[in-house]
Structure 1
Amino acid sequence: MDFELKTLGLPAAAGEKCDALVMLVPDAFKPGKDVLSRLAGDAVKARDLDTKAGKLLQAYRSTGVAAPRLVLAGCGDASGRKVHTAVVAAMGALRTSGAKRLVICMPEGAKDDAVRAAVLATAESSYVYVATKSKPEGRELRRVVIGVSDAAPRKVAFAAATAAANGIEFARELGNLPPNHATPTRLGEEAKKLAKAHGMQCEVLGPKEVAKLGMGSFMAVAQGSEEPLRFIVLKHMGGSPGDAPVVLVGKGITFDSGGISIKPAQDMDEMKFDMGGAASVLGTFRAIGELKPAVNVIGIIASCENMPSGRSMKPGDIVRSMSGQTIEILNTDAEGRLILCDALTYAERFKPRAVVDIATLTGACVVALGAVRSGLFSSDDALAQALSQAGDAAMDPCWRMPLDDEYGDGLKSNFADVANVAGRAGGAVTAAKFLHRFTAAYPWAHLDIAGTAWKSGGAKGSTGRPVGLLFQYLLDQQSTAPAKSAKAAKPTGKSVGKPAKRK
């Protein structure tokens, strides 16, 4: 889909040749003498249109309006969140219209957040998965014009929003692919294509290379599957050569059966979404490639399947991670942390300013936060604050969770340095504490996206989250990149950042 930002007042908008016109009407709307203003003003006066965000009034072939379909959409105070609600509602009304060209008239004086919201809401609402359908129908909308009173001040926000929208769609498409298509090999191929298209560097390692690195924990998860593992490293070096990079680490379990600790059959098909962290890293790099921010970013993806077979890891097995720490496998369905811990150790070699891992890690986080906010855990207050602010700005929110050392006590093992699960209580926190053990060399944050990476039920599908949050965070780092890498304080307390748990 192509987006265009255009200086477009209401009088000119009435004459725009398009299939549908959406006019956002705020609480403070003051009608002028043009056709659209009169229509909206009369509708508000007659109480046929409520300016509350999401309320609509539709018209067809209105006199003086070139577009055959007109949607007047209330947008409340015209803030980003209200505009997002309004555009989603309007797009819902136009879903079956067959419109190919759409014009959205923003309220007078719309700010950056409103423009960003309009772009993201349009892209979100018009996305249709067709990759594996025999009749790929439903993607009619091709061009969207965002009309504002003055385009010049909004160009930067618009460019960032369109890049983010493309990155989110890329992540959604990968996430929605069936597991026999979106294999670890396919993820490696997609990473190489991204790198080639956008001038990035990419390296894809297979089982032999991973074995040489000593990633015993990662290999233990992969050994039960016929699909070979892939360890993907993407690099965008847009900052100064001396700037320490931000490292994004994505969990890429392309299908999670639970292994020997097998999951219930019901809804197991949704475990194709267990590579949501990997998809979000690739989606973020898709957005980076379009906007090319002045920051050094490295993406790391550990990808494999978790399958039951005669070669699978078993409860009671002990594996040695790349860090040298030994891990007792108590539950093979707690596999995400087992691949991430080796990726987090690998990240040390880049002397990063910060490392953020993204994973559909625990059902416990879904219980705690539902599908609204991703769980945020961090060893660094400044990093946590920056991610939280980026999430709010991108309308992709997260919520900081505790990381007290006492939560790590449940991961004690009589036979290894650490167990891979603790008890049921505080499962999202204990999983984060397990990862914390492997992050002493840098500021670190963990995003548990088990509740936000996909939707179930009638709206089943990938959401592309948290690409918006990650991309906004990277844009915010352009002016704050330090010349040298930051060193995190070592985790304190007798648990040394222990414990774990999983969905």
Structure 2
Amino acid sequence: MEIKVASRPLLKRRGNVPCGGETLIKFSGKFLETRTDGKTIPGTLFLGLGSEKELTLDKIRQAMGKAATTIREAGGTKIAAPLLETKFPSDKGGKGGVSVSDIAQAMVEGVILALYQFNLYKTDPDLDKNEIKELTLLVTDRSKKASVLKGALHGQWIANAVNSARTLCNLPGNVLTPSRMEQEALRLRKEYPISVSVLERSDAEALGMGAYCGVARGTAEPPKFIILEYKGGKGKPIALIGKSVTFDSGGISLKPAENMEQMKYDMSGGAAVLGAMKVAAQMKLPLHIVGILPATDNMPGGKAMHPGDIVKTLSGKTVEVINTDAEGRLCLADAITYSLRYKPYAIIDLATLTGACVVALGQHAIALFGNNAKLIEAISLASEKTGEKVWPMPVWDEYYSQIKSDVADLKNTGGRPAGSITAALFLKQFVTDVPWVHLDIAGVAWNGDKPRPYTPKGSTGAGVRLLVQYLIDLAGK
């Protein structure tokens, strides 16, 4: 899609209500309301943003998403929208408030995210017939044009990265293998200043990654422990770690057949890390970032890990495997320990880790755990600006008894009570004293319900925008 910024008004106005000639449009302006008038103002869609006192950047994203899909369904191929210039009393918008650049970014994100379709395996040639080919943002103040263009470009980069993550997660398990994840990382190396190294199964075994290699024992697909590094700045890196289980059958502790086909998206955390690192490189953020993707399948093969097995992690700690379907935390444990060799400033991991998170928070919030108030606050501020909602959860020591094993240092599940908390507490045992945040995206990574304003069914690309905004804020850009 081509993005443009033009310096010209779209319509005359009467107060806050657009009008054509002398005829006012019957339009209340309530949030997500749409109205057309083909007689007085042909080709115009009126879009409701609701009360100005309750306006947020995410409401702009949602509204633009609704407008884009409405126009596409009507057969339109171009969109021209006036840049909204207003105050945001209910949106903290990060540290610097809300600028015209932020508004332009949100508008572009809403359109591109809403128009995403996964048609790769559809054979109908008319599916992509009515695609929006052009989006123009209209500004009345020429002095703001450069800022608007910058925001629009950032919105395009970010939304495209989200959509790329969505596509990876929507790919079937026979296509999106650990080797394909490796190829995606290597593609970034070709296009951007990002170095990539990959540990094969034998390398990981030699290092002592008993937890990660234990998960990989049952699969015929070669596991790939993928490390990406972007050196846009000096100093200690930020470590981004994404769960990258490319298909999760549950292993010997086999999942129920119902909805198992969705377990192709269990690498959503890894896809988010790839997307965030791509945008960081595009924006040339002055940061040092390390991304780690411990990619593998979790399958019930003849050599698969058994319930009751004991594995030795890279940290030296031993873990009793109670349930092989609690495999993500095993992979992440070794990935977190591996990240410590870079002496990171902070560690952020993302994972579709627990069904308990979905029970607790549903499909609208990411569970946020951490050991550092400053880092938790920074992620929360990024959440407010992106609309990727987070909710803080405890990792109190009182829960530790649930993951204490009688025969090893730890066990990989703590039973049904507080399942997302005990999973996070398990990860905390491998972090040492580095500032750390764990984002359980299990509830938000997949939209199995009806499409939302800028979130079609299927993978949501959760975490990309949240990570990017955190990195932007950290870089002070």
Question: TM-score normalised to the size of structure 2?
Answer: 0.90
2:454 corresponds in structure 1 to: none
1:348 corresponds in structure 2 to: 340
2:43 corresponds in structure 1 to: 69
1:59 corresponds in structure 2 to: 37
Say whether 1:203 aligns with 2:193.
no
Q: 1:325 to 1:100 in 2, by over 3 A?
A: same
2:100 corresponds in structure 1 to: 111
Residue 416 of structure 1 aligns with an amino acid whose one-letter code is A
Deviates more, 1:316-325 or 1:391-400: 391-400
Q: 1:108 to 1:473 in 2, by over 3 A?
A: closer
> For residues 441 and 408 of structure 1, what CA distance do their matches in structure 2 show?
17
Cα displacement (A) at 1:144: 1.3
> For residues 163 and 209 of structure 2, what CA distance do their matches in structure 1 show?
32
Residue 4 of structure 1 aligns with an amino acid whose one-letter code is K
Say whether 1:365 aligns with 2:357.
yes
- Alignment match of 2:16 (pick from 30, 33, 38): 30
Q: Secondary structure, in 3 states, of the residue corresponding to 2:243?
A: strand
1:147 corresponds in structure 2 to: 138
1:22 corresponds in structure 2 to: none
> For residues 304 and 75 of structure 2, what CA distance do their matches in structure 1 show?
49
* Structure 2 residues not aligned, in runs of 5+: 87-98, 452-456
Deviates more, 1:391-400 or 1:111-120: 111-120
> For residues 84 and 185 of structure 2, what CA distance do their matches in structure 1 show?
39
Residue 283 of structure 1 aligns with an amino acid whose one-letter code is G
Q: Secondary structure, in 3 states, of the residue corresponding to 1:432?
A: helix
Residue 146 of structure 1 aligns with an amino acid whose one-letter code is L
Say whether 1:278 aligns with 2:270.
yes
Q: 1:52 to 1:438 in 2, by over 3 A?
A: same
1:492 corresponds in structure 2 to: none
Residue 8 of structure 1 aligns with an amino acid whose one-letter code is R
Whether the aligned pair in 2 keeps the contact of 1:327 and 1:420 (CA below 8 Å) is: yes
> For residues 216 and 450 of structure 2, what CA distance do their matches in structure 1 show?
32
Q: Secondary structure, in 3 states, of the residue corresponding to 2:267?
A: helix
Deviates more, 1:78-87 or 1:179-188: 78-87
> For residues 397 and 141 of structure 1, what CA distance do their matches in structure 2 show?
29
Cα displacement (A) at 1:108: 4.3
Cα displacement (A) at 1:41: 8.3
Q: Secondary structure, in 3 states, of the residue corresponding to 2:466?
A: helix
Cα displacement (A) at 1:203: 1.0
2:426 corresponds in structure 1 to: 434
Cα displacement (A) at 1:391: 1.1
Cα displacement (A) at 1:290: 2.0
Say whether 1:121 aligns with 2:110.
yes
**How big is the alpha-carbon RMSD for the aligned residues of Structure 1 and Structure 2?**
2.1
Whether the aligned pair in 2 keeps the contact of 1:174 and 1:182 (CA below 8 Å) is: yes
Can you list the C-alpha shifts for 1:144-180, whole angstroms capped at 9, x where unaligned? 1122333233344333322211111111111111111
Can you list the C-alpha shifts for 1:110-160, whole angstroms capped at 9, x where unaligned? 834432221111011100112222236237122211223332333443333
Q: Secondary structure, in 3 states, of the residue corresponding to 1:355?
A: strand
Can you list the C-alpha shifts for 1:267-307, whole angstroms capped at 9, x where unaligned? 00011111110111111122223212111111100010001
Question: TM-score normalised to the size of structure 1?
Answer: 0.86
> For residues 283 and 273 of structure 2, what CA distance do their matches in structure 1 show?
15
Aligned residues: 452
Aligned 1:102-251 pairs, distance under 5 A: 102-108=79-85, 111-135=100-124, 137-138=127-128, 140-149=131-140, 150-240=144-234, 243-251=235-243
Whether the aligned pair in 2 keeps the contact of 1:53 and 1:85 (CA below 8 Å) is: no
Cα displacement (A) at 1:96: 2.1
Cα displacement (A) at 1:262: 0.5
Identity of aligned residues (%): 38
Whether the aligned pair in 2 keeps the contact of 1:247 and 1:352 (CA below 8 Å) is: yes
Aligned 1:258-407 pairs, distance under 5 A: 258-407=250-399
> For residues 152 and 251 of structure 1, what CA distance do their matches in structure 2 show?
38
Q: 1:289 to 1:98 in 2, by over 3 A?
A: farther
> For residues 246 and 40 of structure 1, what CA distance do their matches in structure 2 show?
56
1:463 corresponds in structure 2 to: 460
Whether the aligned pair in 1 keeps the contact of 2:232 and 2:281 (CA below 8 Å) is: no
Q: 1:106 to 1:431 in 2, by over 3 A?
A: same
Q: Secondary structure, in 3 states, of the residue corresponding to 2:44?
A: strand
Cα displacement (A) at 1:42: 4.2
Q: 1:41 to 1:312 in 2, by over 3 A?
A: farther
| Larger RCO (CA under 8 A, 6+ residues apart) | 2
Can you list the C-alpha shifts for 1:330-370, whole angstroms capped at 9, x where unaligned? 00000000000000000001111111000000011111111
Deviates more, 1:218-227 or 1:114-123: 114-123
Aligned 1:398-417 pairs, distance under 5 A: 398-417=390-409
